[in-house]
Copies of this chain bind each other. A is one copy, B any other.
């Protein structure tokens, strides 16, 4: 099925930042995609327009009741000049799971993918090609009805914006120090933790600031009920290599079902290493650390791909992991997944989707 997507090109292309000055989510491309929703018309008026400010009533529901969800994925420029996306269908599947949880109407996943490809094509000169760089893509939905009653909105905007991003590890992949949070929680079963929605991130800002002041770059989140089961690290999923096996928290309703998480699990299994998804307590990780059974720990997500954990601090007890160095499995996962993503390695899983440039 072909969708009608109107394209209005900008008369004023912006200057592109140097590839060593990209940062993360600071610069935006020349265009953006917008799709409107009203109860009367459903989703309508698909269009690519010049990137620019949007105008909303100050009573728009997104400002007051947080009815909003988002996704994150990347486009890569291969060495032979092709453009590829990484598992974009999974993002739009999850977008609709998030929509359902937030009482937002479904977005047609095929239209979304078509729109994304068209947008990437229009702004293809923005895809950086220096090692480790990529084009970060942020699809999101916001509730726009101007009404202060607490009820689902009658109007929404689905948008896609894009930002060229730098190498996450400018000086090579490097382990981070993680603070295990005992006071605040990110989410709880029955809440919105498995949806990719704004409130989950707002809830974590305080603890992240406090950890940062203590010299820790991320939070390890424990569950809200027992304050014992490990949930996520920062805004990443988390993995532990223990006695030659890989363990990761099972999806339990309060953890985001990361697409990088799913890809890592498939990769690790393909190498003959067992992956066990199950509830994991912080106590047993510390115990495994003390006995030497804990070999590696790492977070996984779209932005960093992999983030090795060199040290945990839980209730003032520090646990150094793998001597504070990046582990062998972490390195291999990073090299393999980024290789598939940027096209330097074959893609045996059929994960990449090429964007035709014609």
Identify which of residues 149-187 in chain A touch chain B, using a CB-to-CB cut-off of 8 Å.
Answer: 149-152, 159, 161, 163, 183-187
A92 at the interface (CB under 8 A from B): no
Given contacts A54-B55, A66-B198, 13 further A-B contacts (CB under 8 A): A24-B149, A25-B148, A53-B55, A59-B138, A64-B138, A67-B202, A150-B208, A152-B209, A184-B190, A185-B188, A185-B189, A187-B191, A199-B200
Binary interface encoding of chain A residues 60-81 relative to chain B, with 1 for a CB under 8 A from any of its CBs, else 0: 0011111110100000000000
Cα separation A103 to B189 with both chains bound (whole Å)? 24
A53: chain B residues at CB < 8 Å are: 55-58
A interface SS class: loop
**Pick from B57, B103, B149, B203: contact of A191, CB under 8 Å:** B203
Identify 14 residue pairs between A and B in the complex whose beta-carbon atoms are under 8 Å apart, listed by A's number. A26-B149, A54-B58, A56-B56, A58-B161, A59-B163, A63-B140, A66-B197, A66-B198, A67-B205, A68-B202, A150-B208, A152-B209, A185-B188, A192-B202
A32 at the interface (CB under 8 A from B): yes
Name the residue on B nearest A203 (C-beta): B192
**Pick from B64, B68, B190: contact of A140, CB under 8 Å:** B64
